[in-house]
Amino acid sequence: MLLSLVGSLTLAGLSLTLVYHQEKQLSAVSKELSNLKTIQSKTGELDAFSRYFLPALYSDKGKMADFVAPQLTIDRQAGQLQSVILESSLIVDEATYQLTYVVAVKDGENRSQKRLVVTVKEEPSAPYGFQVIAKPELSNYPK
């Protein structure tokens, strides 16, 4: 009798542990699904913002203050922007997104392709609803 009671208690303990782990996994999957829905719904807005920002980045004209957080200074890039392709978008944390673009730039007679990573945060008071909050990262494309 005592042996079956210990066995039942052990089985109950294992069941509780399994339920706890399944709840944690379900919570993680639910959060990931929520993030996917958010990035899917925001990608169009983020891409539109970036397609206005990038020409300003590659031009001596345009108000960078419309796009960049006030505490951040970004140097304009040399060359003429030829094309912009959104490669990926992801959520960094709540209301902060990282966009990766492949850009083609013509500088004199030279044409190059770069990968440009832009970190953006939602800012309702900003003219375009978003602001760049970190210096864009440039690297060669393809690697």
Return the half-sphere exposure (C-beta side, CA atoms, 13 A cut-off) of residue 125. Answer: 3
| 3-21 per-position pLDDT tens digit | 676 667 677 777 778 777 7
Strand pairing category for 130-132 and 110-122: antiparallel
Contacts (Cβ under 8 Å, ≥6 apart) of 102: 84, 85, 87, 113, 114, 115, 116, 141
Mean pLDDT of the chain: 88
pLDDT at 2 over 70: no
Q: What is the mean pLDDT of residues 101-127?
A: 95
**Could you give the percent of the chain with pLDDT greater than 90?**
62
pTM of the model: 0.78
